[in-house]
Amino acid sequence: MRLAPILHLTEHQVHGERRWTGRAVLPGVIARDLLILSFQGALIGVRNRCPHRDIEILLGRVDAEGVLECPSHGAQLPLTGVDLCGRPVIEQDGTFYLVLDDEPS
């Protein structure tokens, strides 16, 4: 399983839940800003930018179907869709990692 460490992690309280922001160090890319949230009992990391307005989406609401609403203009962004590119996140010894592939651990 290929993992990318998530650095500069900051915890936030949003809509009564814990969320984190940080930067994933990806192969061939300097870093990517991430929003990490809990969905259906697992952590998921998504791009922390609206693809339409290039603003942070930390404060967006997530519905039961896994669609995040952009806090700026209300666009509906599926967590695992092409705009946010959601990937699983795991925590090991206090460090968060973005899972880069779908191979079983």
Q: Both tokens of residue 4? A: 């990318």
Q: In the prediction, which pLDDT does 105 show? A: 47
Q: In the prediction, which pLDDT does 11 show? A: 96
Beta-carbon count within 10 A of 74 CB: 9
Strand 32-39 versus strand 67-69 pairing type: unpaired
Q: What is the pLDDT of residues 46-103, one digit of tens each?
A: 999 999 888 999 999 999 999 999 999 999 999 999 999 899 999 999 899 999 887 5
Are 21 and 34 contacting, i.e. CB atoms less than 8 angstroms apart?
yes
Q: Which CATH architecture has domain 3-99?
A: 3-layer Sandwich (2.102)
Q: In the prediction, which pLDDT does 66 show? A: 95
CA distances from 84 to 16, 59, 94, 100, 104 (A): 22, 15, 25, 14, 22
Domain-by-domain residue ranges, the chain?
Answer: 3-99
Stretch (H or E) spanning 105: none
